Amino acid sequence: MKPTIYDVAKKAGVSITTVSKVINNTGSISEKTRKKVLKVMEEMDYYPSGIAAALTVKKTYTIGALLPDISNPFFAEMAKSLENSAREHGYSIIFCSTDYLIEREKEYLDLLFKKQIDGLIIAIEPSDSDMIQKLQKKHLPHLLLSVDNPVLRTSIVSTDDRLGGYLAGNYLLEKGHREVSVIYEDNRSSSRYRLKGFMEAFENANLNVNKNLIIPSKSKMEEAREAARIILKREKKPTALFATTDLIATVFINEARKLNIAVPDGISVIGYDNTIYAELCEPGLTTIAQPVTDLATYAIRMLLETMEKPDLPKAKILLTPKLLERESVKDIN
């Protein structure tokens, strides 16, 4: 049977109040008594309930994080960086992967409320403003991560995706590519900004991207395959593709290989994120790198500041992406 605080108090020969003070590190207790209680807790393998402790200190030292797809290497790497940064400040994180499903989004949000989290990081594209309004009504500190949606009035930590898209477009132009295609996530504001920046690079060069070669797709294997096949089966193929995630870019390269279309000789490819896919891909994927560790660090830091000072004004941090050149783009000048 699991030991209780009453069992600990009885074995240590102290009151329940004393045990509670030791657990929560409050009140005036002698070092001798404190060590005695801790020793008994260890001997009995007693761990206080996190919720019970929260009722005393009004904190669970737990943060919630809503992610769209933990199987996507970008969000897997983000989760790892968030966890590392949170641990440095004494916090744990509960990760919830919604798989782009609205019903899961709502279910996980209710679950996190029940867990009495101290704050929430939202890396999904909220289905509507109801989520933010609900969080504000409950006075739960929160922010958007890698989601830059001005309609949702809350703090934001993201990469300057418009600039990232522009860098990708300008790079392809420098390499002589004029007939290009794009596969982008139409369900994420970050990808829409990447597409916008990419288009601006071509507009500044007095060129247009063929709208028939701009294909929407979620960053999921099967949808990315379908989008890739649409482009690769065209009689007149573009000379280059910009994929707004490395996952989409890698799937495209695999589909091209099946059709004996070489990358970059047959078609060039540039991705976005600089995940492990970019390094493992053959050939190595030229991509726009996001500073994942810095994004996580700023997100945790900003969330903790909001916890301490709830009246802080909303803030927006945009970090700078950079282009990493590998072997997947051919110079056709």
Model pLDDT for residues 106-130, shown as the tens digit of each residue: 899 989 998 889 999 999 987 666 7
Q: Which residues of 8-24 are buried (b: 16+ CB within 10 A; e: fewer)?
A: bbebbebeeebbbbbbe
Tokens standing for 254? 């695999």
278, 305 in Cβ contact below 8 A?
no
247, 72 in Cβ contact below 8 A?
yes
> What pLDDT does residue 48 have?
67
Q: Taking 90 as the threshold, does the pLDDT of residue 74 lie above it?
A: yes
> What pLDDT does residue 85 have?
94
Q: Which of 116, 115, 96, 91 is nearest to 106 (CA)?
A: 96
Q: CA-CA distance, 333 to 327, in Å (whole number)?
A: 16
Neighbours of 308 (CB within 10 A): 9
pLDDT tens by residue, 172-212: 999 999 999 999 998 888 999 999 999 999 999 999 999 99
225, 253 in Cβ contact below 8 A?
no
> What pLDDT does residue 54 have?
52
pLDDT tens by residue, 212-271: 999 999 878 899 999 999 999 999 999 999 999 999 999 999 999 999 999 999 999 999
pTM above 0.75, yes or no: yes
Q: Is 273 exposed, middle or buried (0-12, 13-18, 19+ CB in 10 A)?
A: buried
Q: Which of 182, 178, 159 is nearest to 269 (CA)?
A: 182
> What pLDDT does residue 129 have?
67
Q: Which is higher by pLDDT, 43 or 299?
A: 299
